[in-house]
Amino acid sequence: MNKPETILSRSPVGWLTALLMLLCLSTPAWATMPDATAIQAAIDKAYADYKDLEEGANADYIPALAKVDPNVYGIALVTIEGNVYTAGDLKTVVSIQSISKVFTMARVMDESGPQAIYDNMGVDATGQVFNSIVAIEQYKGAEMNALVNPGAIAATGMVQGDSYDDIWNSILGYYSEFAGRKLSVLEDVYTSEAATNQRNQALAMLMYAYGRIEGDALQATDIYTRQCSVGVNAQDLANMAATLANAGKNPVTGKQVAKSENVPEILAVMATAGLYDDSGKWLYRTGLPAKSGVGGGIIAVSPGKFGIAVISPPLDAAGNSVRAQKAIADISNALGGNPYLVQPL
Ligand code: GLN
């Protein structure tokens, strides 16, 4: 009696196909990204799960932020191949706020090397709120990082340029290359924050007193305020995160934006201090270097896999978007995005 012909009995090609099929079936979550359908399903689920969540409140210490619609909720994920997956509101533009600090720090690293950041404000968590004066006092403006306000204003003061306009154009141009389109300032947010940023001016003057800012500390504060007012949507932020996930090369435009050798240091500071004094909790949940802003955005980076961003203005007590944290954690964990997940030998 003839045996029924199977794929295996046909040829070496059959054997190879079978082996590949077996490999695919047994591929662990951490080895490759799931397929497009699974990625979109994870994003749709997180969107639906948290759409009606009413926790947290808009930041109101900057008056313009209190007026933003708290229902804005957009998710975008960009893979290092440049594939884009989205859900919800991709049109609404909010102010980038503290997420800008990552990219100004990156600019300084590109121009002066990562050691310049390490030597000036440092690369350690403060364990304090992002505008803490105590954190400056403790180590005379060192032993902190470029993602809290004093360190961030000092970083803005380190960006090269002969004039206010030179420095500003350098920063805005750099952000735009990360986003893959020409970004601009939300003037109402800038005006509102500039009128109420006396505490940041005080932080900057204290950093100046400790020699952490050279030159005009109030100019650095003003440029910092302007950089925080740059308008971005969820897609812009996801492109920025994906550029970091792809070793500094924007996967959508194909342009090398940041020096690839500095990306590990950028991600290290994000992992240490990206979600203020809740950074440890965040890393524990996701393993992802990330950065939040009081405008309601959060970006997160799964190195070598994807960048993700969520915008949703209501914040928790630590100043991080409630929906964005939940959505990014769920999506990344569903896709095996945690970089600490490795296959045992
Ligand atoms: N522009 C804001 C500030 O300086 C940024 C703070 C934030 O997003 N955490 O207070």
| 129-188 pLDDT, tens digit each | 999 999 999 999 999 999 999 999 999 999 999 999 999 999 999 999 999 999 999 999
Ligand 1 atom closest to Cα of residue 225 = 1
- Ligand 1 touching residue 190 (CB < 6 A): no
Q: What is the pLDDT of residues 208-254, one digit of tens each?
A: 999 999 999 999 999 999 999 999 999 999 999 999 999 999 999 99
Of ligand 1's atoms, which has the minimum distance to the CA of residue 97?
8
Q: How many CA atoms lie within 13 A of 73 on its CB side?
A: 25
Q: How many angstroms separate the alpha carbon of residue 22 from the centre of ligand 1?
A: 50
Kindly indicate the confidence band of residue 3, based on its pLDDT and cuts at 50, 70 and 90. very low
pLDDT of residue 5: 46
How does pLDDT run across 20-71, given as a tens digit for each residue? 454 444 444 455 789 999 999 999 999 999 999 999 999 999 999 999 999 9
Residue 5 included in any domain: no
- Residue 343's pLDDT is 82
Ligand 1 pocket test target in 95, 100, 131 with most atoms within 8 Å of CB = 131
200 CB within 6 A, ligand 1? yes
Answer yes or no: are the C-beta atoms of 239 and 225 closer than 8 Å.
Answer: no
Q: Say yes or no: CB of residue 98 within 6 Å of ligand 1.
A: yes
User: Is residue 294 in contact with ligand 1, taking CB distance under 6 Å?
Assistant: yes
Tell me the pLDDT tens digit for each residue of 328-345. Answer: 999 999 999 999 998 888
Nearest Cα residue to 148 out of 138, 170, 246, 196:
138
pLDDT tens digits along 295-327: 999 999 999 999 999 999 999 999 999 999 999
Q: For residue 292, which of 243, 335, 228 has the smallest C-alpha distance?
A: 228
252-285 pLDDT, tens digit per residue, is 999 999 999 999 999 999 999 999 989 999 999 9
Q: Tell me how far apart the 2 most distant CA atoms of the chain are, in Å.
A: 93
d(CA 25, ligand 1 centre) in Å: 46
Report how many domains make up the chain: 1
pLDDT tops 60 at residue 98: yes
pLDDT tens-digit map of 14-28: 555 544 454 444 444
Atom of ligand 1 lying closest to residue 294 CA: 8
Rounded average pLDDT over 74-93? 98
CA of 13 to the centre of ligand 1 (A): 59
Measured in Å, residue 131 CA sits from the centre of ligand 1 at 8
Distance of CA 156 to the CA centre of its chain: 18
Question: Residue 8's pLDDT band (boundaries 50, 70, 90)?
Answer: very low
pLDDT at 335: 97
Centroid of ligand 1 to alpha carbon of 320 (angstroms): 11
- pTM summary value: 0.91
Residue 2 lies in a domain: no
Q: How far is CA 211 from CA 114, 123, 154, 162, 247, in A?
A: 19, 17, 10, 20, 32
Distance (angstroms) between ligand 1 centre and the Cα of 170 equals: 20
Residue 22 domain flag = no
Specify the ligand 1 atom closest to the Cα of 228.
1
What CATH number corresponds to the domain at position 288? 3.40.710.10
CB environment 296-318: b (16+ within 10 A), e (fewer) = bbbbbbbbebbbbbbbbbbbeeb
> Is position 1 within any domain?
no
100 pocket-lining for ligand 1 (C-beta < 6 Å): no
Q: Which two tokens stand for residue 182?
A: 């020409």
Is 21 part of a structural domain of the chain?
no
Q: Is the CB of 221 under 6 A from ligand 1?
A: no
Structural domain for 77, as ranges? 34-335
Whether 228 lines ligand 1, by a CB cut-off of 6 Å, is: yes
